[in-house]
Structure 1
Amino acid sequence: MTSQLTDFTSTLARWEAERPDSVAIRFGGTARTWSELARRVRQNAAAQRAAGLRPGDRVAVLDFNHPACLELTLACAQIGTANAVVNFRLAPPEIVYVVNDAAARILFVGPEFAAAVAQVRDQLPTVERVIQVGGADDEYEAWLAAHRPDPEVHPAHPDDCFVQLYTSGTTGFPKGAMLTHRGMLAHAENCAVDFRIDPDARVQVAMPLYHVGGTSYALITISAGAQIVMLRLPDPATVLEVLESERITHTFLVPALMAVMAQVPGAADHDFSALKAVTYGASPMPLPVMRACLELFPGVMHQVYGMTEACGVVSALGPEDHEDPAVAHRLVSAGRPIHNVEIEIRDPATGGPVPRGEVGEIWVRTQQLMRGYWGKPDATAAAITPDGWLRSGDGGYVDADGYVYVTDRIKDMIISGGENIYPAEIERVLAEHPTVADVAVIGVPDDRWGEVPKAVVVPAPGCEVDTEALLAYCRERLAGFKCPKSVDVAEELPRNLTGKVLKKNLREPYWEGRERRLV
């Protein structure tokens, strides 16, 4: 599906005109049609304008998933403002940082976060008003109801930012990626082709809206004129129940959630026959988890690789590559570039291309790219080259068939005695051991080699980890210089909500007082 529309306000108006009485979004026990959604968005636009917001201003949302966040994003698209969606998993000082970084003038909070915001209210100098969304003390509905729908549309440029999502911040304070009409529309149209999302689709939005797996996935659905079924939180049992009860055709999930879903009692008893695509990404999926999910969702699994800075997905591995034993090695790949996306592997030091099959930095060029990082021109210039390539910061290679393999973050690469070691390669080996449920490999200081690999493992249920046996297991399967030199056992690994291991947290105790060499 290719659209000539250049902004999301026109997209919403299209479906309001073509499908006014069709359901656009379901949430809890509420269903709203396209005409109802469009009316609420115009009321939201009117309320923002009445509050004195002008093009370029920011609002912010701190909440679990709620349709109000999506209404705000679409209203921002209409009047030229931008919605900065805050990661609700952040600590209070980090929340203060994000809200202040965005210079948000209105902060919308869910009832679960109202008390926390009240405690830091005096640290938010740009916030003129806090509005609670939902719960017994809801203020949002009255804020909307006080205004008639505003039909005026700001003449948006395709490169105007209307939603600002913050990078996960695994290595420091997050940066606000300015996502634009051009980028989000390109992403929506490219994904609709690859994942066959059309107006008849019923799309489950289970992942948080502060992440591209939430907001971008919702905007793909809006662009396609399909129906959104939004969950407030991605509870594993609820996700499974809704897949069946709502006859969901498409969903996006993260591997950490899917691992728990596969263990829910009776998971396989659900009827998932309506599913056309179960898309997963944001972190690697251990092969044992993948095998369990392939049994649960046969013929519909799509692995995706992407990043906030590119509005979401840039490559995908389809069901045929998941199911064909002749190409089982591709299960650890990120597939091939989706429509209208270029991927090249470059030398991270020189920026020059590297030969096919050799590891370098993954570079991406596409209309999907962000405009830049909000208020950080130097970081933007470091991330996006003058000729439009995004330096992903991920290490990887492309094989002879054009499949992309992500090895690790460039900064997580371990340099031991001059050899480059990518932790993901070691992690894939250890994940196959029957006593290991979860694993992360980090570089730790070594007086002789500079740094060496260390594995941190979580035991499988009912198992004890024999660290010496694990080291011997690695020596049988990996080159000597790649083998971990030690193994620690932990109850769990620190992860953010999307499943990314916070390796910075694991490394800190070992590198305290030392200067770590990073690429």
Structure 2
Amino acid sequence: MNSTDPPRGFSPFPALIASHAQLRGTATAFRVDEQTLDWATLHARVGHVARALERCGLAPGDRVALLGGASLPYVECFFGAVAARACVVPLPVSASVETLQALLADCDARLLFLDPGAGDAVMDMGTRLARESALQVVHFGHDGAATQAYAAWRASGETHAALPAASAEDPFNIIYSSGTTGLPKGIVHLHGMRQAQASRKGLFTPQARTLLSTPVYSNTTIMPMLGTVAQGGTCILMRKFDAGRFLALAAEQRATHTMLVPVQYKRLLAHPDFDAHDLSALELSQSTGAPMELDLKREILRRWPGRFLEVYGLTEGGVSCFLDARAHPDKLGTVGRPAFGGEVFLIDESGRRVPPDRVGVAGEVVGRSPFMMAGYHNRPEATAQIRWYDEQGAVHHRSGDIGRFDADGFLTLLDRIKDVIISGGHNVYAADLEAVLLRHADVQDAAVIGVPSPDWGETPLALVTPRAGAQIDPGALRDWVNAQVGKTQRLSAVELRTELLRSAVGKLSKKELRAPYWPSRPTPEVSP
């Protein structure tokens, strides 16, 4: 069996937790700050939460939303809802009250676990929704009165009644995509898919001590958390990322695994105390969420211990590539090769598969894997848009990304379809120009966007953040780049910025960066 093969059979997460409780009951399952939860206690509390949910009238398939930061009660509620065969809906604490209310309505949540730490406006929303009987609200928290109220609620489930048997076809979670237009889409994962994904060999082990610092509602956190739980390791959750605290925790707790986004690696490596911390216990560090700069990958290989794996994929599943950077140091400009058991290829503008022998030809990245969503919640049109079918009718997912393969089968990402700059009828890929800009010694960060041009329709504009202490002449930098690229790729101008707008996981927010230059331009609906 290959190290990334999915296992056979279905073992639901409550059964896995029960097994770990029996085999290693006193071992730590979760740690948040100084608070810990061993496997035996986690197993008991998950059962209590599940039975308390049943007492509240929750039935299999009902949606249970969670809104808050990392805490032990959050973990109990997450897996307790799963044990009750409910569908977990982790909501982003960074969203506005209006968006949160829309998401709760969209998923038709029956109950909301709400952490007062989410803020007064969110608490007011919860109080109003409960008063209107729109849904039940249970408060929980990291400490204080909310924790006591939650413990009292949980105690109502301290019975020995049998829990419903889970099915592989149960909806496990709905994760809302970041969304660039309108309401984010709800990505539905089934229990069987999540269990198979989490139980892949070669990533996590029973000895894993996985340090996670991205928000608990993010798939960047949920996926490695589930992988660690499936194997019976220890999850160490940070309530908020801080580079100094992360380094201290990694050294103190002898962390073996982590999943970070590129901007976090950058901040950790730039921290003045990085070299003073012993990170030698790290066995596997992964990066996802956004493309990583070539120079940052090189610095990781020089200074960061252990195996480094860049993961490219969709929360929707289907498209998945891994770059094992130490094994392929000559391929750092790529996102690796398709993960074992999956298929990734390109399609052209007419939707036809690009023949594999057409090396270097650009196209939309499409893929299929054993780990794919069931669809978008209540969005059949969006589900139909992301799907691509081969001659045998097998479902694949369209990524919305433009890429090209090299002769060794490694994939390089070029742009999002919606971000491709069409200048004078030629496709210009921002990634090509950004890679050149980032080679300049004085450039810290760069984004290339298309702006209106009376002559070409649109033309490339570079937005650049200088390195600390550097003085950049925008015209000279433009000419330096244009001397290295093709005629149709040339920048029209360079503008300096103190920083570039990025999402919570470090992706450049191209839509927002373009907006001032296209005040009347309609925003296209692009899938996904």
Indicate the TM-score class for this superposition, using the shorter chain for normalisation.
over 0.9
1:129 match = 137
Shift in Å, 1:95? 2.0
Quote the Cα distance in structure 1 between the aligned partners of 2:36 and 2:71: 13
The match for 1:209 among 208, 216, 220 is 216
Cα-to-partner distance string for 1:431-489 (whole Å, 9 max, x where unaligned): 12122211111111112211111111112111222111111121122112112211221
2:69 match = 64
Paired amino acid for 1:262? L
1:309-388 equivalence runs, <5 A: 309-310=316-317, 314-321=320-327, 324=329, 327=330, 330-354=331-355, 355-385=358-388, 387-388=394-395
Q: 1:62 to 1:517 in 2, by over 3 A?
A: closer
2:230 match = 223
Cα-to-partner distance string for 1:357-407 (whole Å, 9 max, x where unaligned): 311111121121011111111111111245220111111122221212222
Shift in Å, 1:515? 4.5
1:99-110 equivalence runs, <5 A: 99-110=104-115
Q: 1:80 to 1:202 in 2, by over 3 A?
A: same
1:501 match = 508
Quote the Cα distance in structure 1 between the aligned partners of 2:77 and 2:338: 31
Shift in Å, 1:84? 0.9
Identity of aligned residues (%): 32
1:43 is paired with a residue whose SS is helix
Quote the Cα distance in structure 2 between the aligned partners of 1:34 and 1:516: 48
Structure 2: stretches of 5+ with no match in the other structure: none
Contact 2:117 2:141 in 1 (8 A): no
Quote the Cα distance in structure 1 between the aligned partners of 2:183 and 2:435: 29
Shift in Å, 1:18? 2.6
2:402 is paired with a residue whose SS is strand
Structure 1: stretches of 5+ with no match in the other structure: none
Quote the Cα distance in structure 1 between the aligned partners of 2:441 and 2:159: 59
2:456 match = 449
Cα-to-partner distance string for 1:163-184 (whole Å, 9 max, x where unaligned): 1111112344211101112221
Contact 1:70 1:215 in 2 (8 A): no
TM-score (norm 2): 0.91
1:470-489 equivalence runs, <5 A: 470-489=477-496
Shift in Å, 1:247? 0.6
Shift in Å, 1:85? 0.8
Contact 1:414 1:453 in 2 (8 A): yes
Q: 1:518 to 1:373 in 2, by over 3 A?
A: closer
Shift in Å, 1:73? 2.7
1:268-279 equivalence runs, <5 A: 268-279=275-286
Contact 1:205 1:251 in 2 (8 A): yes
1:465 match = 472
Cα-to-partner distance string for 1:43-85 (whole Å, 9 max, x where unaligned): 1101111111112211212212223333223222222211111
1:256 match = 263
Shift in Å, 1:264? 1.1
Contact 2:74 2:140 in 1 (8 A): no
1:421 match = 428
Paired amino acid for 2:307? V
Contact 1:302 1:318 in 2 (8 A): yes
Contact 1:310 1:368 in 2 (8 A): yes
Quote the Cα distance in structure 2 between the aligned partners of 1:74 and 1:156: 12
Q: 1:209 to 1:3 in 2, by over 3 A?
A: farther
Quote the Cα distance in structure 2 between the aligned partners of 1:419 and 1:383: 25
Quote the Cα distance in structure 2 between the aligned partners of 1:149 and 1:420: 64
2:164 match = 154
Which range moved further: 243-252 or 229-238? 229-238
1:183 match = 193
1:402 match = 409
Quote the Cα distance in structure 2 between the aligned partners of 1:14 and 1:385: 39
Cα-to-partner distance string for 1:265-293 (whole Å, 9 max, x where unaligned): 12111111111111112112223333333
Shift in Å, 1:119? 3.6
Q: 1:91 to 1:473 in 2, by over 3 A?
A: farther
Shift in Å, 1:295? 2.8
Quote the Cα distance in structure 2 between the aligned partners of 1:85 and 1:436: 37
Paired amino acid for 2:379? K
Paired amino acid for 1:462? G
2:520 is paired with a residue whose SS is coil
Q: 1:484 to 1:152 in 2, by over 3 A?
A: farther
1:275-290 equivalence runs, <5 A: 275-290=282-297
Shift in Å, 1:106? 2.0
The match for 2:80 among 39, 53, 75 is 75
Quote the Cα distance in structure 2 between the aligned partners of 1:76 and 1:518: 33
Q: 1:68 to 1:405 in 2, by over 3 A?
A: farther
1:208 is paired with a residue whose SS is coil
1:511 match = 518
Quote the Cα distance in structure 1 between the aligned partners of 2:53 and 2:419: 43
1:89 match = 94
Paired amino acid for 2:353? G
2:291 is paired with a residue whose SS is coil
1:320 is paired with a residue whose SS is coil
Cα-to-partner distance string for 1:68-116 (whole Å, 9 max, x where unaligned): 3332232222222111111122223222222222222222222322412
2:308 match = 301
Quote the Cα distance in structure 1 between the aligned partners of 2:47 and 2:396: 36
2:296 is paired with a residue whose SS is helix
Quote the Cα distance in structure 1 between the aligned partners of 2:143 and 2:36: 18
The match for 2:239 among 232, 235, 238 is 232
Matched, 1:241 2:248: yes
2:351 is paired with a residue whose SS is coil
Shift in Å, 1:306? 1.6
Quote the Cα distance in structure 2 between the aligned partners of 1:390 and 1:10: 31
Contact 2:77 2:113 in 1 (8 A): no
Quote the Cα distance in structure 2 between the aligned partners of 1:141 and 1:420: 58
Which range moved further: 249-258 or 30-39? 30-39
Matched, 1:20 2:25: yes
Quote the Cα distance in structure 2 between the aligned partners of 1:94 and 1:428: 35
Paired amino acid for 1:156? A
Contact 1:114 1:132 in 2 (8 A): no
Shift in Å, 1:6? 4.1
Quote the Cα distance in structure 2 between the aligned partners of 1:286 and 1:317: 13
Quote the Cα distance in structure 1 between the aligned partners of 2:443 and 2:95: 29
Shift in Å, 1:518? 8.6
